[in-house]
């Protein structure tokens, strides 16, 4: 807790409260004096003070017991005083104290039943001020000077009258002038410096020495179940505050964390509004645990950044207190609280546009496509299918030329974000409220996709009694996404990439008869929700957290805390599928021939509900005994989760009413979804010890039980410890090496547990119901029940043992801060089925067992440089994380021979190694083909110049499976890096952020690997192909290109083998965000009583540096991720303009 300049380190809170009252009393006194025009009275009360070698402090205690008069003083002042021996009997207070202060370097004043200690020089001034108090009826104009420790004037320091909106900044000479009442407190702050508070006396000229802060060491960071001073942190913990989180305007909160926290790896997979599919992990370890305000909560990506106070990640044994699911690291999100003071109202609004980043596009005209088709026919030895290809210009309606991409995709999609925040409070109650809204539109030209989100959050803290504090946080996130029925991005891109430009939009060019062309559905029809139906996805997420904290009155530093959280999650999806027609035109009969699509009209509703409760009780103790600091925590925790839901679906005869009760009874479907129950309970303990803040030690444990595991194996014990040594505090370094401000060594080691992927009820033998189905009577489906497989009554946690070694160094007062971490995580008992190790004739489905193990190792480096040149303050910070994992043991049948072992075993192998062919290159001419080893089962009969020339890796004269060998590393990046540049000059600030990843590769699939899928359109890139000079003459000379010759149906199969031709190293550096902001001068905004007003422009995903062969956005994984296979919604670049204004 910050110390008040006049505070006393040994005063209890109660005393401090009394002290505040005293200030108020003093102010009242001055007013009284002013009104009455009389001098302060002489105190005539009699006291007796006697004792040998007693301190002034003891004197004050005697005075207090006899007169009730309190003493108020700066302990620093008191330190300078000498002990005295006196014997004063029955003397007035004034006289007695004069005697006691006789040879002391300080003086005193008695005012309103209070003794105030003053420096000697100030004594007189204070007396004069009291005597001439008339002058203080009106405000004093205080002038002052702010100097650095070196005695140089400090420019740009902010001087504010505490608790008010009055403020100013120092000029180039370090001078300031401000109006204030005597008794007011001036707050002087400057980035990178320790804030100071100075009380306004009548003195009108103040000199303040502003010390540079010990970098961030004094900062308090959130750790598991508590907070800690950064200087005392011994684990691998990284944190960011709100100032780092605002520079990006997107819907997904995790985008604002990209590259900001060393070790946190955020990759944007796509930019679809309301989808939140970023890939996020810590050190490449898989899905982490996310804890929001002390409670595990998954859905953090929807949080409004305006409500975030800090985000911390725990990357090592420091996460062990979270036991369950902490094996992959923990992210702690703390939301904002109110501060005592006048209400502060902030309004933030931004408006922007999204544009697609680099994304493969289809050929956008008819002729280029027809050239490829004709070439493909020549290659296959067929006559030209389109000898009249040159006529497809669109001028003649019989020869259409349609740019389907341009027709369906928008150039700029608006995004808009607003939030209002109110905070403030009194000594007893503080509050923070925020309400926000985000609107984001999707890429369809028909505007049929958009997303709307509302966030609200309130955080109220009330001091019920002196010792008892209550805090209640209520938060809600409500959103709705609208999209057309038939076009998940998968559907849409698949169709729009395939739709040839030589097909018309409408049959006979007559709207609204959508032409039934080669693509499965007309791309323009499927994004028309009025015609084809829609999808609405709604989510309502309410979170409640109530905390009671009780400071035990009798034991100093002992605190009791109870927390209860209740989270409700409601999902509702409505899918309205409308039957519609696409048409062909029958010219002879002048008829439009319909093809009925997506029939019958159908409505599906899915509702589901999830409820989570969390109860926590904790006892905390914190105290110090001389040089020994001790902190302890014991905490019990219980968590319950349950979910239920249902689905209902009906077909419709009529598609005018999109309501379930308008549907048909026939073939209606109702079923349950998401029925789950799970609980866990835990006991957590932690002890911290430090000696002289120099030697630090922490031990923690968690005893965790999960309902997912069988009774006898459900409890796990997860201990961890860490040690720290602040070498810079040692006498042999301190002040010896002047530029070394901080040097700390940290080490941690701990065991954590995980139950993700564990199937519940492993100990139960039984039958899963429903599972599969069969029809016994020709009419009705009978739900089946399948045998569950063998039980495993001892299924238990798999464990992760993490070890972390870290060094923090601070040099030259912030000119260079360095953190280096080395880490490893070894996991044992990973869940797998032994299936492949027992003979299949055994016939049983084997249970999950704790079988596999893996090891991940890596390092992190963070460098930061903060400096100030005159008015220009800037910071450069960069971080890099590298991690790579390998299997230690991977359960498999014993390989039959050493080749199979080399080929198939995963034991002690790096994860993610890609196998395939090496290539010599592309055949340049027929001679190359003739001389090359046998390339495939068809010999060389189908090869042409431009085809891929595979390397005969084992040199046996033919290319076959035996030539496959490791050709690429993981498809997941091993290295992530970020570079942040920020600077400010007078009200202008600029923040530029770069981010990137390296050491991974990608291989495109489907339409990105070959032209003319099903003989339709192609991606544009395949125009850069091997072809003949005269594309219609197979005997004209070859013109080389990047891709092989055009062939029908995704190109030529053998060209598409996994090989170094397709696997590309994807190293990229991206200008992730840029923000330029201007804070309006005080003199302008004070007219509208605003404290602060800031306008900004920012941009997101602005530019990317990458290999020239990467034709797509490197973050957007086009290498086939499950069924999406490259058809994922593209990333967007966002450009925003906005304003922040605070009243």
Partner 1 sequence: MNNTYKGAIILLIATCFTMLSGCKKELDKDPVDILTEEILLSDPVAYTSHVAYLYSQLPFSNSFADMGRYLSYKTDELVNCTQDQNASLEPNTQWWEDGYKVIRNLNNLIEKVPGSSLFPTQEQINEAVGEIRFMRAFVYYNLAWRYGGVPIVTKVAPLPKGGDISELYSPRNTELEVFKFIETEMTEAIAMMSTAASFNEFRFNKWSALAYKSSAMLYAASIAKYGSVQLDGAVGIPQTEAAHFWEAARDAAKEVIDGGVYSLYNESSDKALNYHNLFFDKSASNKERVFVTAYVWPLKGHNFDRDAAPFNHRGGVGYGGRYCPTLEMVESYEYINDRNGALKMNSGGTPIEYADPADLFKDKDPRLFASVLFPGSPWKGTTLKIYARVIENGQEQDGNGVDGINQPEATSTGFYLSKWQDPAPPRPIDNNSSDVDRMYMRYTEVLLNYAEAQLELDNEPEARIYVNMIRNRAGIEELDGVITMDDYRKERKIELAFEENRYWDLKRWRTYDKVMNNKETYAIWPVYNKDKNVYTFRRQVLPAGKYTRNFSANLYYNRIPATEIETNPLIVQNPGY
Residue from 343, 406, 921, 1053 in contact with partner 1 (CB under 8 A): 1053
Decide: 429 and 469 in contact? Cβ < 8 Å.
no
Residue from 89, 667, 671, 1036 in contact with partner 1 (CB under 8 A): 667
CB of 16 to partner 1, least distance (A): 17
DSSP assignment letter at 939: T
**Which CB, 706 or 1091, lies closer to partner 1?**
706
CB of 388 to partner 1, least distance (A): 10
Residue from 28, 121, 596, 670 in contact with partner 1 (CB under 8 A): 596
DSSP string, 908-929: T-BTTPEEEB-EEEE--SHHHH
Residue from 68, 397, 843, 1037 in contact with partner 1 (CB under 8 A): 843
CB of 1003 to partner 1, least distance (A): 21
Q: Report the site for partner 1 in 999-1018 (rule: CB under 8 A).
A: 1014-1015
The verdict on 901 binding partner 1 (CB under 8 A) reads no
877 forms bridges with which residues in the sheet? 864, 980
Exposed e or buried b for every residue in 823-845, given b needs 16+ CB within 10 A? Answer: bbbbbbbbbbbbeeeeeeeeeee
Q: Residue 225, SS3?
A: coil
Decide: 343 and 422 in contact? Cβ < 8 Å.
yes
Residue from 347, 761, 874, 1143 in contact with partner 1 (CB under 8 A): 761
972 forms bridges with which residues in the sheet? none
The verdict on 1037 binding partner 1 (CB under 8 A) reads no
Cis peptide before 770 (omega within 30 of 0): yes
The verdict on 675 binding partner 1 (CB under 8 A) reads yes
CB of 773 to partner 1, least distance (A): 6
CB of 705 to partner 1, least distance (A): 5
CB of 1006 to partner 1, least distance (A): 14
**Nearest one of 420, 263, 432 to 338, comparing CA atoms:** 432
Residue from 24, 35, 733, 768 in contact with partner 1 (CB under 8 A): 768
Q: Report the site for partner 1 in 494-523 (rule: CB under 8 A).
A: 520-521
How many Å apart are CA 24 and CA 31, to the nearest integer?
Answer: 11
**Which CB, 733 or 837, lies closer to partner 1?**
837
**Which CB, 183 or 636, lies closer to partner 1?**
636
CB of 544 to partner 1, least distance (A): 15
**Which CB, 219 or 673, lies closer to partner 1?**
673
> Which tokens hold the place of 969?
């590393």
The verdict on 947 binding partner 1 (CB under 8 A) reads no
CB of 767 to partner 1, least distance (A): 4
CB of 377 to partner 1, least distance (A): 7
86 forms bridges with which residues in the sheet? 51
Matching residue, tokens 């040879």: 103
Q: Choose the stretch contacting partner 1; rule: CB under 8 A; options: 81-89, 382-390, 424-432, 958-966.
A: 382-390
Q: What is the 3-state secondary structure (H, E, C) of 791-812?
A: CCCCCCCEEEEEEEEEEEEEEH
Q: Choose the stretch contacting partner 1; rule: CB under 8 A; options: 20-28, 359-367, 534-542, 592-600.
A: 592-600
Q: Report the site for partner 1 in 541-570 (rule: CB under 8 A).
A: 548, 550, 553, 560, 562, 564
The verdict on 397 binding partner 1 (CB under 8 A) reads no
Name residues whose C-beta falls within 8 Å of residue 1082's C-beta, 6 or more positions apart in sequence.
167, 168, 169
Angle at 1047 (CA atoms; ends 1046, 1053), nearest 5 degrees? 120
Secondary structure of the chain: what % helix, strand, coil (to 5)?
15, 45, 35
Q: How many CA atoms lie within 13 A of 846 on its CB side?
A: 17
Q: Choose the stretch contacting partner 1; rule: CB under 8 A; options: 160-168, 183-191, 380-388, 398-406.
A: 380-388
**Nearest one of 356, 281, 236, 313 to 972, comparing CA atoms:** 281
> Which tokens hold the place of 65?
């017991």
CB of 129 to partner 1, least distance (A): 39
Decide: 157 and 210 in contact? Cβ < 8 Å.
yes
Q: Residue 1038, SS3?
A: strand
CB of 293 to partner 1, least distance (A): 18
Please count the other Cβ atoms lying within 10 Å of the Cβ belonging to residue 353. Answer: 18
**Which CB, 397 or 840, lies closer to partner 1?**
840
Decide: 95 and 44 in contact? Cβ < 8 Å.
no
Total interface residues for partner 1 by CB under 8 A: 99
Q: Report the site for partner 1 in 696-735 (rule: CB under 8 A).
A: 705-707, 711, 714
How many Å apart are CA 258 and CA 415, to the nearest integer?
Answer: 20
Residue from 34, 345, 407, 579 in contact with partner 1 (CB under 8 A): 579
Residue from 654, 656, 937, 1123 in contact with partner 1 (CB under 8 A): 937
**Which CB, 518 or 1086, lies closer to partner 1?**
518
**Which CB, 424 or 600, lies closer to partner 1?**
600
**Which CB, 553 or 966, lies closer to partner 1?**
553
Strands (E), 5-69: 46-54
Q: Find the distance separating the first CA and the last CA of the chain, reported in whole Å.
A: 27
CB of 828 to partner 1, least distance (A): 18
How many Å apart are CA 1009 and CA 671, to the nearest integer?
Answer: 41
How many Å apart are CA 697 and CA 691, to the nearest integer?
Answer: 9
**Which CB, 121 or 669, lies closer to partner 1?**
669
Residue from 183, 816, 1049, 1079 in contact with partner 1 (CB under 8 A): 1049
Q: Residue 491, SS3?
A: helix
Please count the other Cβ atoms lying within 10 Å of the Cβ belonging to residue 2. Answer: 10
Q: Which helix (H) or strand (E) holds 681?
A: strand 669-691
CB of 604 to partner 1, least distance (A): 12
CB of 414 to partner 1, least distance (A): 32
**Which CB, 18 or 137, lies closer to partner 1?**
18
Tell me how long the chain is. 1143
Q: Report the site for partner 1 in 624-643 (rule: CB under 8 A).
A: 636, 638, 640
Q: Choose the stretch contacting partner 1; rule: CB under 8 A; options: 195-203, 363-371, 745-753, 892-900.
A: 892-900
The verdict on 575 binding partner 1 (CB under 8 A) reads no
The verdict on 599 binding partner 1 (CB under 8 A) reads yes
The verdict on 841 binding partner 1 (CB under 8 A) reads yes
Q: Report the site for partner 1 in 769-788 (rule: CB under 8 A).
A: 769-788
The verdict on 386 binding partner 1 (CB under 8 A) reads yes
Residue from 91, 104, 538, 598 in contact with partner 1 (CB under 8 A): 598
Decide: 152 and 170 in contact? Cβ < 8 Å.
no
Q: Choose the stretch contacting partner 1; rule: CB under 8 A; options: 73-81, 568-576, 625-633, 934-942.
A: 934-942
> Which tokens hold the place of 763?
């100990």
Q: Which helix (H) or strand (E) holds 24?
A: helix 13-36
Residue from 3, 243, 623, 938 in contact with partner 1 (CB under 8 A): 938
CA-based R_g, the chain, Å: 37
How many Å apart are CA 160 and CA 175, to the nearest integer?
Answer: 14
Residue span 786-815 as binding mask against partner 1, x where in contact by CB under 8 A, dash where not: xxx-x-------------------------
Name residues whose C-beta falls within 8 Å of residue 923's C-beta, 6 or more positions apart in sequence.
929, 932, 943, 944, 945, 946, 947, 948, 949
Residue span 163-202 as binding mask against partner 1, x where in contact by CB under 8 A, dash where not: ----------------------------------------
DSSP assignment letter at 1032: T
Q: Residue 904, SS3?
A: helix
Phi, psi of 466 (to 5 degrees): -60, -30
Cis peptide before 512 (omega within 30 of 0): yes
CB of 942 to partner 1, least distance (A): 6
């Amino acid at each position: 807790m910050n110390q008040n300049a006049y505070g006393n380190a040994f005063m209890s809170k109660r005393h401090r409260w009394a002290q505040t009252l005293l200030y108020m009393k003093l102010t009242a006194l001055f007013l009284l004096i002013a009104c009455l025009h009389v001098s302060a009275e002489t105190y005539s009360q009699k006291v007796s003070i006697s004792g040998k070698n007693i301190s002034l402090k003891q004197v004050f205690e005697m005075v207090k017991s006899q007169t009730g008069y309190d003493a108020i003083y700066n302990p620093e002042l008191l330190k300078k005083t000498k002990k005295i021996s006196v014997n004063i009997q029955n003397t007035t207070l004034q006289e007695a104290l004069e005697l006691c202060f006789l040879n002391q370097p300080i003086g005193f004043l008695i005012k309103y039943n209070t003794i105030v200690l003053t420096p000697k020089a100030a004594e007189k001034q204070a007396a004069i001020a009291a005597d001439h108090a008339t002058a203080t009826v009106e405000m004093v104009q205080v002038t002052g000077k702010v100097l650095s420790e070196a005695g140089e004037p400090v420019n740009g320091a902010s001087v504010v009258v505490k608790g008010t909106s009055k403020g100013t900044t120092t000029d180039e000479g370090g001078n300031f002038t401000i109006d204030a009442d005597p008794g007011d407190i001036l707050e002087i702050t400057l980035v990178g410096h320790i804030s100071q508070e100075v009380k306004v006396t009548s003195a009108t000229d103040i000199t303040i020495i502003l010390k540079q802060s010990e970098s961030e060491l004094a900062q308090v960071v959130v750790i598991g179940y508590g907070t800690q001073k950064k200087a005392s942190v011994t684990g691998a913990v990284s944190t960011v505050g709100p100032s780092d989180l605002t520079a990006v305007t997107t819907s997904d909160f995790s985008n604002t964390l990209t590259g900001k926290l060393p070790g946190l790896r955020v990759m944007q997979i796509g930019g679809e509004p309301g989808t939140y599919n970023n890939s996020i992990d810590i050190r490449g370890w898989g899905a982490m645990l996310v804890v929001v305000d002390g409670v595990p909560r998954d859905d953090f990506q929807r949080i409004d950044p305006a409500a975030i106070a800090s985000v911390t990640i725990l990357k090592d044994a420091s996460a062990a207190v979270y036991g369950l699911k902490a094996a992959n690291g923990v992210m702690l999100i703390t939301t904002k609280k109110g501060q005592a003071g006048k209400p502060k109202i902030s309004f933030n609004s931004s408006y922007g546009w999204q544009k697609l980043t680099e994304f493969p596009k289809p050929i956008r005209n008819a002729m280029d496509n027809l050239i490829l088709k004709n070439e493909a026919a020549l290659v296959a030895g067929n006559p030209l299918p389109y000898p009249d290809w040159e006529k497809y210009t669109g001028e003649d309606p019989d020869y259409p030329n349609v740019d389907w991409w341009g027709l369906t995709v928008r150039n700029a999609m608006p995004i808009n974000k607003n939030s209002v925040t109110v905070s403030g409070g009194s000594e007893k109650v503080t509050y923070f409220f925020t309400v926000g809204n985000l609107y984001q539109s999707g890429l369809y030209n028909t505007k049929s996709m958009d997303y709307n989100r509302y966030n609200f959050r309130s955080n109220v803290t009330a001091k019920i009694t002196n010792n008892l504090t209550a805090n209640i946080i209520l938060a809600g996130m409500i959103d709705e996404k609208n999209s057309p029925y038939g076009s998940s991005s998968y559907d849409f891109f698949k169709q729009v990439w395939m739709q040839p430009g030589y097909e018309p939009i409408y049959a006979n060019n007559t709207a609204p008869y959508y032409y039934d062309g080669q693509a499965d559905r007309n791309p323009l029809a499927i994004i028309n929700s009025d015609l084809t139906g829609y999808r609405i996805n709604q989510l309502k997420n309410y979170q409640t957290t109530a905390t009671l904290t009780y400071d035990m009155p009798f034991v100093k530093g002992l605190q009791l805390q109870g927390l209860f959280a209740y989270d409700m999650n409601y999902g509702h999806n409505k899918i309205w599928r409308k039957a519609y027609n696409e048409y062909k035109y029958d010219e002879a009969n002048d008829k439009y021939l319909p093809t009925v699509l997506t029939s019958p009209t159908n409505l599906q509703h899915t509702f589901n509900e999830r409820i989570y409760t969390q109860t926590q009780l904790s006892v905390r103790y914190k105290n110090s005994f001389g040089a020994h600091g001790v902190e302890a925590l014991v905490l019990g925790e219980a968590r319950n989760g349950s979910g239920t839901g249902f689905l209902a679906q009906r077909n419709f005869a009529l598609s005018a009413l999109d309501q379930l009760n308008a549907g048909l009874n026939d073939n209606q479907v109702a079923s349950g979804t998401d029925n789950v129950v799970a609980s866990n309970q835990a006991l957590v303990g932690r002890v911290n010890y430090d000696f002289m803040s120099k030697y630090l030690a922490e031990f923690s444990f968690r005893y965790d039980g999960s309902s997912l595991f069988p009774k006898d194996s459900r409890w796990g014990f997860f201990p961890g410890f860490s040690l720290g040594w602040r070498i810079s505090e040692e006498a042999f370094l301190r002040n010896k090496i002047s530029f070394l401000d901080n040097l700390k060594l940290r080490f941690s080691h701990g065991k954590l547990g995980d139950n993700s992927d564990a199937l519940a009820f492993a100990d139960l033998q039984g039958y899963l119901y429903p599972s599969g189905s069969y029809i016994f009577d020709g009419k009705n489906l009978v739900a089946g029940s399948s045998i569950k497989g063998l039980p495993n009554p001892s299924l238990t946690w798999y464990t992760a043992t993490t070890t972390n070694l870290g060094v923090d160094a601070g040099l030259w007062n912030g000119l260079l801060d360095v953190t280096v971490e080395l880490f490893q995580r070894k996991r044992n008992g990973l869940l797998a089925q032994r299936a492949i190790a027992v003979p299949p004739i055994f016939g049983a489905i084997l249970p999950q067992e704790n079988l596999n193990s893996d090891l991940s190792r890596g390092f992190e480096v963070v460098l930061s440089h903060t400096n100030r040149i005159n008015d220009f303050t800037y910071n450069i910070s960069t971080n890099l994380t590298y991690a790579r994992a390998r299997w230690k043991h991977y359960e498999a049948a014993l390989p039959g021979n050493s080749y199979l072992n080399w080929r198939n075993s995963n034991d002690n192998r790096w994860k993610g190694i890609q196998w395939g062919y090496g290539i010599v290159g592309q055949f340049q001419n027929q001679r190359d083909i003739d001389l090359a080893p046998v390339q495939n089962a068809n010999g060389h009969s189908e090869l042409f110049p431009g085809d891929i020339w595979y390397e005969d890796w084992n040199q046996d004269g033919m290319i076959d499976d035996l030539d496959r060998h490791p050709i690429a590393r993981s498809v997941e990046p091993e290295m992530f890096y970020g570079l942040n540049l920020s600077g400010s000059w007078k009200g202008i600030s600029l923040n530029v952020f770069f981010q990137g990843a390296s050491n991974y590769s990608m291989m495109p699939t489907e339409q990105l690997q070959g032209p003319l899928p099903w003989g339709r359109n192609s991606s544009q890139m395949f125009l850069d192909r091997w072809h003949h000079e005269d594309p219609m003459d197979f005997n004209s000379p070859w013109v080389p290109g990047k891709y092989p010759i055009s062939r029908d149906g995704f190109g030529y199969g053998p060209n598409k083998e996994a090989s170094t031709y397709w696997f590309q190293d994807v190293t990229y550096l991206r200008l992730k965000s840029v923000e330029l902001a201007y804070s309006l001068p005080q003199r302008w905004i004070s007219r509208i009583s605003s404290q602060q007003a800031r306008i900004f422009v920012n941009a997101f995903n602005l530019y990317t540096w990458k290999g020239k062969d990467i034709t797509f956005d490197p973050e957007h994984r086009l290498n086939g991720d499950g069924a999406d296979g490259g058809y994922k919604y593209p990333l967007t670049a966002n450009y925003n303009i906005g304003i922040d204004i605070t009243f």
